[in-house]
Structure 1
Amino acid sequence: MTDFPLPSFLTGLGLSIIAVSVLMAVTFAVATAQKRHSVIDVAWGLGFVVVAVITFLASSGAGDGGRRVLVLVLVAAWGLRLAGFIGWRSRGGEEDPRYAEMLADPRGSAAVLALRRVYLPQAGVMLFVSLPIQVAMFSTAPLGPLAWAGAVVWAVGLFFESVGDQQLASFKNDPARRGTVLDTGLWRYTRHPNYFGDAMVWTGLFLVAADSWPGVLTVLSPALMYWALANRTGKPLTERRMSDRPGYKEYIESTSGFFPLPPRAGRGI
């Protein structure tokens, strides 16, 4: 077992808290000016890139160089792609129905409500979910087989997330398919390839961290992401919104709900 530089890690954690707080403050200002709090979705991916960069710099001379570079590259590739895609997808749009419903309470200050229900929770979740990134940056052991397996899992996740997003965007841009259900490509094997991919990305990053002590202790971070995507903010909200679309009931019955599986009549996972 190698020594973990706890004081340096705590310094990096403090810097990450400051950086995420500044990012959320800037995002809140932009959202208020645009009257559209859904811009925080763009900041979500960027926030993890900020944490990765901050801890990469803070861990110089403390963590293993190979692991630091690997984690920085993986997080930057995922976060910048996601932020760019969401920014492109939502350009010139109106407020996301999720945030409109969340902030519909007429009592009290709308700004305070947004901070309490959107920005502070997202900042907290971002810092917690990013713990594998932060710990991995300061881990001193050289890269081992588990870390490389994690990189492979990450690549599978990025494939599902990016290809699934692109297939959905193409589907929405096709007037001939308006009002129908996307059931081709990756969407033939899972109703949520983008959410499944996101879960695999974070599983992969956890494995990179768990390859060296004490990265295994961050297991609750990917577990939280999986729970949120499969049971809270991802899959359930999307399916509730799609429930009245013609053919969606049949799609649910034939297509796996999260993990990719061959389509089969009567399957609803």
Structure 2
Amino acid sequence: MILIADSGSTKCDWALLDYHKNTVLKTNTAGLNPAVLSVSQLQTIILENEKVLAHASQIQEVYFYGAGCNTKEPTAIVEHCLQTAFKQAKIHVSEDMLGACLAVTNAPGVVCILGTGSNSCFFDGNKVDLPFLALGYTLMDEAGGSYFGKQLLQDFFYNRMPEKLKIHFENRFELSPDILKNKLYKEEAPNVYLAQFSKFIYEYYSQEKPYFKSLLENGFNLFIDNRLLPDERTRDYPVHFIGSIAYFFKEILVDCLKNKNLAPGKIIRHPIEGLIDFHKQNM
């Protein structure tokens, strides 16, 4: 059997295929990002995945595509953790950008992820070229969940959020300054914590469209200006997007791209279905 995993910081999707190209199971766990989780935390998440571990002795190959797996050290950490659980399997660990590319296209193009964080690359049909480093939520991650979560919190505390929306926001989340500071500066995975606030956009978009539309446009345009326009290849190829924010607000995103004279490509929510298709075709 072949095990496929696509992991962001918040969630990891798993799919198990047999050699008759059947999907045996699909499940999900918490995300496995070695940039924000310790080895013991990574191992705990893997070892608590009982549905997959029930087939561990039959799994011959594991293909893991994950956020934070773009340099040697974190890649080796994830390989070790997976090998501990799947002792008989050959482990393949790649960055999430490669998984995103394989999920949306087999032709040259620009591929972007808007998940908990954000990233972009040029894909030539075989290899990923990252024109810029991905340095996380503190320095980058424009238009990702952590970015929008931070913007919402700023708007709330700077009194820029519409009054009715502030009431909903205050009722929806625990906003004690002490708790916020502890979560952001002392606890693990502050990027995931910030990203949870971005769910508010989906939940209340219909009630305050002008405010949310402006928030989304600003984030999308910042991503385009910083990550896409400086790379000349972006103007010559379709620009594909993966992630819930891109998927649910595709109309706004497409308008932002067209206003910058860029060609929108596919916009999908989750890479896992595309990765299942890719691996079935290559079995």
- Please tell me the TM-score bracket, short chain as reference: under 0.3
In the superposition, the TM-score normalised over structure 2's length comes to 0.21
TM-score, length of structure 1 as denominator length: 0.21
Relative contact order, higher structure (CA 8 A, sep 6+) = 1
